[in-house]
Amino acid sequence: MTGQPLTFDATPEEMVIFLSEAEEQMELLSQDLLRLEHEGDANSELLQEIFRAAHTLKGSSGAIGHQRMARLTHAIETVLDQVRHHLLPVTTQMIDLLLQGVDALRVLLDEVTTLVESDIAIDDLCQALNALAAPATEGAANPVPATSPEGFANPSRGVQPPAAAPGTPPVPVPVAVPQAPLWRVEVQIAESCLLPSVRALQVLLAAANMGEVVKSDPTGEVVESGKVTAGSTLTLWLKPGISGDIAEQIRAAVGNILEVTVSAVTPEGDIAPSAAPADADDASGELWRVTVAINERCPLPAARALQVVLACGAAGTVRASEPTLEAIEAGQANACREVTVWLARSGSAAETLAALRAEVERIPEVTVTDVTADAVDAAPVSSPEGFVFPSREVQPPAGVTVAHLAPAGQSIPAGVPGAHLAPALQPVPTTMPGAQSAPAPSTPTPAKAAEHPEGGAANGASATHAPRMVRIDVERLDALMNLVGELVIDRTRLARIANKVSQHSGDAAMAEELTETCRHLARISDDLQDEVMRSRMLPIESVFSKFPRLVRDLAQKVGKKIDFIVEGKDTELDRSVAEQIGDPIIHLLRNSIDHGIEPEEKRLAAGKSETGQVRLAARHEENQIVIDVEDDGRGIDAEVIKQKAVSKGIISAEAAARMGEREALDLIFAPGFSTAEQISDISGRGVGMDIVRTNVERLNGSITVETEVGQGTRFTVRLPLTLAIIRALLIDVAGQTFAIPLTSVVEALRIERDKLRSVNGHEAIELRGEVLPLMRLRDIFAEELAAGQQENAERAQRQFVVAVRWGDRRGGLIVDALIGEQEIVIKPLGNLFRAAHGISGGAVLGDGQVAPILDIPALIKHIISAERGVGVAA
């Protein structure tokens, strides 16, 4: 099967949503699995969440028709379901297996993009997972907790005994037990929702987590077959298994789901709604038994059977089928040659037959053999997905019970489920169009129509419940940011013009008005910039979330015990920064685990706990985001580093002897420097710290290291919050303006010429007791700048020096003039200028001119190497 082209049953938009959601769920799944391993199965909330993630994945992969993914998620879900019900203990092997499953899911997810079947084999994995779950598998595949035996234990495997046979109560279902009142929950699925079935499924799952979903409209089956339409209403009847303020809890749990709005949560007494039986009643003579034969030579009868049931769903409402959808999807219909579907549909036999033929006979290898009107009583007892249709005979109609219960509501003591009627919680009349979501809108179930006469109007009213969140393509945000950049440039430009006008124009009032307008525009564009920046911000959690798994795997590989602490997950940063910061942090974490943390024996010998600690922390500091990667390992010995650097030929022995500790530590960032054999016994890949530094600096950030031998090491990465617009100091060199990112500027000074010292033949000044090595930008740039500019700048009595920093290194740049601070919009210069040393990009200034942005790290390196006379960086 490898390399087979794949097709999926979804539009491109749905695919995009599916992809991003599936990624989210997988991320959640792997995070939660790690938590599960850590915390055990005592945390029921976690267990539910993790199960929900798996189930949502299964549902959505099924909905787009990704069979292998659905199969694997099914196996994962089965295990998780048993864990959830404490039928299986959590073991490391189990977590390993489940994580492997998630890894495989990622590969399968890629197939959605490549549309080619990957060569990953999931059979073994599924088998292993099934074997794990084997002891108690029955029914575990189903989304609703095993506490609803009537729900799934007998999902109409054969022809069921008649449901509403007079006087015959169906199966003795707990539904009928008093003190278990029903709540009716109405949920509106947003018009804009692209995967309505997935949302509906999430609603059902959320509800199932709070008790037993007795019935739903559309049914769970319809939902799982992907037939829910956007803008429709999902109604479900829930028998809560929770106590307290039930309505509130339902609202909270369901309201958490994106793109759906809870429109009503109402108690319905201890009975199921009359709707279903009424349906059946009114549908009397409209229930059709459809028999479809599958060709003997059909290689995949189960697939055809599935298509048949789904196709029937398009012609009417499927009440039941044999085999059931569940059975087909569970692979129990692999030899099936005939499918029987009980279909509710209004209209004549001829019409029904025509509709069915139209839908069903489109499917290859099948023939409709028989369509007969069936007595209502002949319909199977339970709907195929197993939600019981309670019989009208045994239970009074809903309205009666509500009327009976409602007045007593407030007086019933708290703690009794359903006691809190909370009328305030019904802002929208409970008249949502229940039939709206039925697969065939042309055949509204009569009972529903009667119950909600103004269904259409209510639907319209629900438009006010528009979703509060929208998804925006990152590209659109980028475009928005670019436009804001343009605006910022023009704002500054306009301010200059206004300035000129007020100086030259005779009309003072007019000039004043212009200036005032400019000021206002400046404020507005500032706010706009803030808002756009904020909309691009996301918590760093999106980056951090993949690290626990990474740390776990790595620790396992090197055989160390690691306690991984993550702090400041909520710290927000710009999307563009977030996208690029992951790799450098991974490098640092690897480095800490591989080289920093000592092996157990050594730790014990050093009097430390055998479990090493690695801390990853993020926080905001001024306009920067600061990320620490810290370990309590062996630390870095500057002497060892020096020796290593000498032996690698990175520095000379003399240079090493002159070097201070800080400089020595800096050597670990030098290209070609790997400390693996020197300070680590574990053979790992040499971690390229030079790459880390390069990547961080490309983002206008910096990285520093602090260490204490025997105590640990801390790497600190500082990054700007955004990459597009920054504040910069503008300076002049030989008549041209240059920009220095303000984050690199320590201070700008004007010094007398005689304060310049010469240290080892290089210019320097003393700045607060420290020697600041200097560089004349003219020496570097002037020759290429306009030749006629050789003025007297060098001979001037006063010199302007901009003290800049890179990490904890400092240097001074001698410039011709200071122009001032300005907000600049960073623009890439393109490949042609890749070799332009000392320039990191271009900035468009307020007057529309372009100014090169100085590459401070490169310039400081240049100063240092000139000073030392040894090349540090290649």
Partner 1 sequence: MTQAPTVTQTALDDEQVVVFDVFNEAYAVNIARVHEIIRLQQITVIPGAPACVEGVINLRGKVIPVLDLRKRFNLRANEHTRASRIVVVEISGQTLGLIVDGVSEVLRVPPDRIEPPSPLVAGIDSRYLRGIAKLDDRLIVLLDLDQVLSPVEQQQLEATDLR
Q: Given the complex with partner 1, which of 486 and 526 has the nearer CB atom? A: 486
Instruction: Please work out, in degrees rounded to the nearest 5, the angle formed at the alpha carbon of residue 418 by the alpha carbons of 413 and 423.
Output: 95
Integer Cα distance of 523 and 619 in angstroms = 28
Question: In the complex, what is the shortest distance from the CB of residue 720 to partner 1, in angstroms, rounded to a whole number?
Answer: 20
Instruction: Please work out, in degrees rounded to the nearest 5, the angle formed at the alpha carbon of residue 297 by the alpha carbons of 294 and 301.
Output: 45
In the shown chain, the binding pattern of residues 785 to 814 toward partner 1, with x for contact by CB under 8 A and - for none, equals: xx----------------------------
Q: Given the complex with partner 1, which of 285 and 871 has the nearer CB atom? A: 871
55 beta partners? none
Binding to partner 1 by residue 832, rule CB under 8 A?
Answer: yes
Binding to partner 1 by residue 830, rule CB under 8 A?
Answer: yes
Integer Cα distance of 869 and 874 in angstroms = 14
Q: Given the complex with partner 1, which of 355 and 845 has the nearer CB atom? A: 845
Q: And the tokens for 477?
A: 């945000």
How many of the other CB atoms lie within 10 Å of CB of 172? Answer: 9
Single-letter amino acid code for the residue at 48 = Q
Question: In the complex, what is the shortest distance from the CB of residue 192 to partner 1, in angstroms, rounded to a whole number?
Answer: 32
Whether the bond between 218 and the residue before it is cis, its omega within 30 degrees of 0, is: yes
Using CB under 8 A, which of the segments 118-126, 249-257, 288-296, 824-832 binds partner 1? 824-832
Tell me how many residues contact partner 1 (CB under 8 A): 32
For partner 1, the binding residue among 482, 535, 647, 760 (CB under 8 A) is: 482
Using CB under 8 A, which of the segments 24-32, 408-416, 797-805, 841-849 binds partner 1? 841-849
Binding to partner 1 by residue 92, rule CB under 8 A?
Answer: no
For partner 1, the binding residue among 285, 441, 672, 848 (CB under 8 A) is: 848
Question: In the complex, what is the shortest distance from the CB of residue 671 to partner 1, in angstroms, rounded to a whole number?
Answer: 13
Integer Cα distance of 175 and 178 in angstroms = 8
| Relative orientation angle of helices 123-133 and 67-84, to the nearest 10 degrees | 20
Phi, psi of 139 (to 5 degrees): 75, -10
Question: In the complex, what is the shortest distance from the CB of residue 828 to partner 1, in angstroms, rounded to a whole number?
Answer: 8
The owner of tokens 């206008």 is 700
Residues of span 279-308 touching partner 1 by CB under 8 A: none
Using CB under 8 A, which of the segments 346-354, 424-432, 555-563, 783-791 binds partner 1? 783-791
For partner 1, the binding residue among 9, 393, 486, 639 (CB under 8 A) is: 486
Beta strands 809-815 and 817-827, pairing class: unpaired
Binding to partner 1 by residue 480, rule CB under 8 A?
Answer: no
Residue 43 CB-density burial (10 A; 0-12 exposed, 13-18 middle, 19+ buried)? middle
For partner 1, the binding residue among 747, 766, 784, 791 (CB under 8 A) is: 784
Using CB under 8 A, which of the segments 44-52, 579-587, 759-767, 843-851 binds partner 1? 843-851
Binding to partner 1 by residue 862, rule CB under 8 A?
Answer: yes
Q: Given the complex with partner 1, which of 723 and 851 has the nearer CB atom? A: 851
Binding to partner 1 by residue 833, rule CB under 8 A?
Answer: yes
In the shown chain, the binding pattern of residues 709 to 738 toward partner 1, with x for contact by CB under 8 A and - for none, equals: ---------------------------xx-
Integer Cα distance of 274 and 281 in angstroms = 10
Using CB under 8 A, which of the segments 453-461, 515-523, 614-622, 845-853 binds partner 1? 845-853
| Relative orientation angle of helices 44-64 and 92-114, to the nearest 10 degrees | 30
Q: Given the complex with partner 1, which of 486 and 527 has the nearer CB atom? A: 486
Question: In the complex, what is the shortest distance from the CB of residue 584 to partner 1, in angstroms, rounded to a whole number?
Answer: 23
Whether the bond between 277 and the residue before it is cis, its omega within 30 degrees of 0, is: no
Question: In the complex, what is the shortest distance from the CB of residue 841 to partner 1, in angstroms, rounded to a whole number?
Answer: 9
Integer Cα distance of 571 and 539 in angstroms = 5
Binding to partner 1 by residue 842, rule CB under 8 A?
Answer: yes
For partner 1, the binding residue among 211, 380, 838, 846 (CB under 8 A) is: 838
Binding to partner 1 by residue 849, rule CB under 8 A?
Answer: yes
Question: In the complex, what is the shortest distance from the CB of residue 776 to partner 1, in angstroms, rounded to a whole number?
Answer: 13
DSSP 467-530: -S-----HHHHHHHHHHHHHHHHHHHHHHHHHHHHHHH-S-HHHHHHHHHHHHHHHHHHHHHHH
Using CB under 8 A, which of the segments 307-315, 625-633, 651-659, 838-846 binds partner 1? 838-846
Integer Cα distance of 414 and 41 in angstroms = 30
Binding to partner 1 by residue 485, rule CB under 8 A?
Answer: yes
Cα dihedral 664, 669, 674, 675, rounded to 10, equals: 40
Single-letter amino acid code for the residue at 385 = E
Question: In the complex, what is the shortest distance from the CB of residue 490 to partner 1, in angstroms, rounded to a whole number?
Answer: 9
Integer Cα distance of 439 and 731 in angstroms = 69
Question: In the complex, what is the shortest distance from the CB of residue 698 to partner 1, in angstroms, rounded to a whole number?
Answer: 17
Question: In the complex, what is the shortest distance from the CB of residue 874 to partner 1, in angstroms, rounded to a whole number?
Answer: 9
In the shown chain, the binding pattern of residues 733 to 752 toward partner 1, with x for contact by CB under 8 A and - for none, equals: ---xx---------------
> CA-CA distances (angstroms) from residue 314 to 222, 344, 355?
10, 11, 9
Q: Given the complex with partner 1, which of 311 and 804 has the nearer CB atom? A: 804
Describe the strand order of the beta sheet including 762-767 as a list of residue ranges: 745-752, 798-806, 809-815, 770-776, 762-767, 757-759
Residue 256 CB-density burial (10 A; 0-12 exposed, 13-18 middle, 19+ buried)? exposed
Binding to partner 1 by residue 836, rule CB under 8 A?
Answer: yes
Binding to partner 1 by residue 844, rule CB under 8 A?
Answer: yes
Q: Given the complex with partner 1, which of 514 and 804 has the nearer CB atom? A: 804
Binding to partner 1 by residue 846, rule CB under 8 A?
Answer: no
Question: In the complex, what is the shortest distance from the CB of residue 862 to partner 1, in angstroms, rounded to a whole number?
Answer: 7
> CA-CA distances (angstroms) from residue 461 to 1, 262, 455, 570?
50, 13, 10, 37
H or E element in which residue 560 lies: none
For partner 1, the binding residue among 339, 852, 860, 863 (CB under 8 A) is: 852
Task: Please report, in angstroms and rounded to a whole number, the separation of the first and last CA atoms in the chain.
Answer: 49
Closest residue by Cα to residue 426 from 456, 397, 402, 393: 402
Residues of span 109-138 touching partner 1 by CB under 8 A: none
Using CB under 8 A, which of the segments 24-32, 70-78, 120-128, 825-833 binds partner 1? 825-833
> CA-CA distances (angstroms) from residue 3 to 6, 102, 115?
9, 21, 9
Beta strands 770-776 and 809-815, pairing class: parallel
Q: Given the complex with partner 1, which of 295 and 849 has the nearer CB atom? A: 849
Q: And the tokens for 44?
A: 């029921």
Q: Given the complex with partner 1, which of 127 and 849 has the nearer CB atom? A: 849
For partner 1, the binding residue among 98, 308, 489, 551 (CB under 8 A) is: 489
Residues of span 753-782 touching partner 1 by CB under 8 A: 780-781
Task: Give me the residues that bind partner 1 (CB under 8 A), please.
Answer: 482, 485-486, 489, 736-737, 780-781, 784-786, 827-839, 842, 844, 848-852, 862
